[in-house]
Chains A and B, each alone.
Chain A
Amino acid sequence: MLYREAGDFKTTYREDNQTFPIKFDRYRYYAVLAVAFLLIPFLINDYWVNAIFLPFLIYSIAAIGLNILVGYCGQVSLGSGGFMAVGAYAVYKLMTAFPDVSIMIHVFLAGAITAGVGVLFGLPSLRIKGFYLAVATLAAQFFLVWIFNRVPWFYNYSASGQINAPEREFFGVAVTGANADSWATYVFCLIILTFCGIVARNLTRGAMGRKWMAIRDMDIAAEIIGVNPLNAKLSAFAISSFFIGISGALFFSVYLGAVEVGEAFGINKSFLILFMIIIGGLGSIFGSFAGAAFLVLLPVLLKNLFVAGLGWQPDLATHLEFMIVGGLIILFLVVEPHGIAQIWRLAKEKLRLWPFPH
């Protein structure tokens, strides 16, 4: 009853081309934005921001990035951790080299630098596909982590080999460093995520997205109708890495504050983001959010349930948490291989008819 396109007439293609052509969807989207920007900042405390919101926002950006590459363009990548590291080290070098420039500009520049690196490591995709490409991007992962460990210039010759985020302000409010308020970090990341989400959605529903999907679904036919595969694949690598670089920059500067590259951006991170988009739904922007939420929230939820709720030992809870999350991932892939986004889609189909059966 609530959710239907009947009576929602479009008289121009411009109206039909909207991101959310159905009214109910559109209002829901505005409501989510309003809650996220106007309500949540006043309600949250340190725990909520650091345990749930910051990781969710930052991983969502990374998941959107990887989804563009894997879900939309069909190029499998296991190098996301390495690309996040590029973003982190790029923003660190920029922050320390140009302290007077706004942190927002640095974050986007870090994304641009990562895009360049991504194109470089995307070159093999022009000759190899599938699993072989995954292995090639794995090389990127190990090489990038190695170089950030071995070349002291990247960590400004610090004795510990770590990088530490200095304090930087955005419109007079500290968003990085020890004095940053939790609400400020939340809003800062939320602004960037909103921007990334809109840009990703615009790209994927337009000419660029069709190019990527054509290459994904059938590359030979795509080429015959005039898609330049070099152009399409490398642009996917560039834009995907741009988002992943931004998420890496935020992960280091806003969320962690201090980073040791092997620990923060190891192969585990690559797999985590890949799981997010597989569980969330390949080829869906909503799926990127859903997958990030699932893998960030589930461990926190289980921990609270076991330790706070049932009073179990924390170490037992941690081990159980691993087992349950792992089990749920498998269950999920068996029950709905197309991810949460597909469940969402089916739910919407049902909602169109509800409460009538046909």
Chain B
Amino acid sequence: MLDQAEAYLTADGRQIGPVVMEMKNITLRFGGVEAIKDISFDIREGEIRAIIGPNGAGKSSMLNVISGFYVPQEGEVFYKGEPRAHMKPYEVARQGIARTFQNIALFEGMSVLDNVMTGRLIHMKANLFSQALWRGKAEHEEIANREVAEKIIDFLEIQAIRKTSVSRLPYGLKKRVELARALVAEPSLLLLDEPMAGMNVEEKEDMSRFILDVNDEFGTTIALIEHDMGVVMDLSDRVVVMDYGKKIGDGTPDEVRNNQDVIDAYLGVSHD
């Protein structure tokens, strides 16, 4: 059954809780292609969990399984101790799972503020008539959710661009707005698909700081995919390493760094 081991403290004093999400013997196939082969791992409450691996290793597929977008052919996903039933993508958000995308998936025709406010849609329940007249519940909700959105906008330091159209923003800011949109939903599990892809060193440092702050201030559990080894090793509490759809390593950054299979996968191995 689920490993509900005791909570513990990390070296820097953060509380890591019990397992929130457990993947058990996941296998995912697309026709004849096995994208993920019999992988098991878990994500604990409050930790930053990284998934790394060379291109085509199946990391994004794994993230899509976690987010419920793909349903694995074999294996089970436990979320908060319950085996997860098959559900529609829009129902996943209501379970407290939010994500960002590898290729930015913002709503280009809307302002930054509106984009962030879409993240609050799952919390807005005013009926049509109230919305049509902008009276009663609709107006209250609009203001209450605007406050939450503004907190996140402050937190991610994008106040100055809140009324700018997203289509006019540079790449690094778009990534930050996307993080804001995911964060504003107040998720218990945040999935980041290559949050630092295509950024320069300064932007990476900013983004790393935000990820650590999010984890620290809101206690959000974070699972991320990233290619920059330095970033991954610095940020994450535990790392899963994948190659060709298989798990080849799992553990703290130090353990993974010294794992012979991982070194072989990344540096290559001679076959003589």
Residues of chain A whose beta carbon lies under 8 Å from any beta carbon of chain B: 12-14, 16-17, 199, 202-203, 206-208, 210-211, 213-214, 216-218, 220-229, 235, 283
Contact = CB atoms under 8 A, between A and B. Distances in A.
B132 to A, nearest CB: 5
B106 A210 contact: no
Contacts of B142: 13, 17, 206-207
B122 A226 contact: yes
Interface of B: 67, 69, 88-94, 98-99, 101, 105-110, 114, 117-119, 121-122, 124, 126, 128, 131-134, 138-139, 141-143, 146-147, 150, 181-182, 185
A235 B89 contact: no
Contacts of A216: 107, 109
A217 B110 contact: yes
Contact of B121 (A12, A225, A283): A225
Contacts of A225: 93, 98, 118-119, 121-122, 181-182, 185
Given A217-B110, A226-B90, A13 B143 contact: yes
B107 A227 contact: no
B111 to A, nearest CB: 10
A220 B105 contact: yes
Contacts of A208: 128, 131
What are the 10 tightest A-B residue pairs by CB atom distance, in nearest-first order?
A226-B93, A221-B105, A217-B107, A226-B122, A207-B124, A202-B134, A223-B89, A13-B146, A199-B132, A13-B143
Contact of A210 (B89, B121, B134, B147): B121
B137 to A, nearest CB: 10
B189 to A, nearest CB: 13
Contact of A13 (B67, B93, B94, B147): B147
Contact of B106 (A221, A224, A226, A283): A221
B110 A14 contact: no
Given A210-B114, A224-B99, A235-B128, A202 B133 contact: yes
A217 B99 contact: no
Contacts of B119: 225
A283 B90 CA distance: 24
B90 A210 contact: no
A202 B132 contact: yes
6 contacts: A13-B150, A202-B131, A214-B110, A218-B105, A220-B105, A226-B92
Given A17-B146, A224-B92, A213 B122 contact: no
A216 B115 CA distance: 13
Nearest to B119: A225
A305 B187 CA distance: 63
Contacts of A199: 132-133
B101 A227 contact: no
B128 A221 contact: no
Contact of B126 (A207, A221, A229): A207
A308 B90 CA distance: 61
B94 A226 contact: yes
Contact of A207 (B93, B107, B141, B150): B141
Nearest to A17: B142
Contacts of B182: 225
A266 to B, nearest CB: 31
A285 B142 CA distance: 20
